[in-house]
Amino acid sequence: MKRKNPVEESRRYVENAQKVLRENGDLDVKTQLYQDEKYVRAAGHYLWLAVLLMLDAVFHVRTDRRTRVDINAYLDAVRKRDRKLLGLVNSSYDIMHLYMGYDGVQRKAVCDDGVSLANDIIDRCALMLAEQKG
């Protein structure tokens, strides 16, 4: 079921990522490492999808849900409008998509940074959406 509000949907993805890590990540408190990289990868993918959902809502880069959009198309659209957001998107690509999603970096601090970045991007894009509507 597709939701109409991209902000709520993105926040739901972030909550799902946190839930996956909390319930299945098996955090070793002593080393601050998640024991199963499978769940770190899943959380990274959820976070990255939350970011892409917000970027699509604001910048309309992806016009057809059946096609993939290169990250450079998102970066170009963001670069033209908001340099601070560009820095957040670059960092989120590295942390969520590459480090967490592909590499499965198990360090809790990296995962926490991913969640924080996702929330920062959602907040910033939500303001942009409000400006577009108002």
What's the rounded mean pLDDT across residues 19-29? 95
Q: Which amino acid, one-letter code, is at 90?
A: N
Does the pLDDT value for residue 111 go beyond 50? yes
Q: Which amino acid, one-letter code, is at 39?
A: Y
The model carries a pTM of: 0.93
Number of domains in the chain: 1
**Residue 23: inside a domain:** yes
Q: How do residues 48-84 score in pLDDT, each as one tens digit?
A: 999 999 999 999 988 777 888 899 999 999 999 999 9
Residues 6+ apart with CB under 8 A from 47: 13, 14, 17, 92, 96, 100, 114, 115, 117, 118
Range of the domain at 112: 6-133
**Residue 115: inside a domain:** yes
User: 133: pLDDT confidence band, cut at 50, 70 and 90?
Assistant: confident
**Residue 1: inside a domain:** no
Q: Which amino acid, one-letter code, is at 130?
A: A
Residue 116's CATH number: 1.20.120.330
Does the pLDDT value for residue 38 go beyond 60? yes
Residue with tokens 């890590």: 21
**Residue 16: inside a domain:** yes
Residue 44 CA to residue 84 CA, distance in Å, equals 22
What's the rounded mean pLDDT across residues 20-30? 95
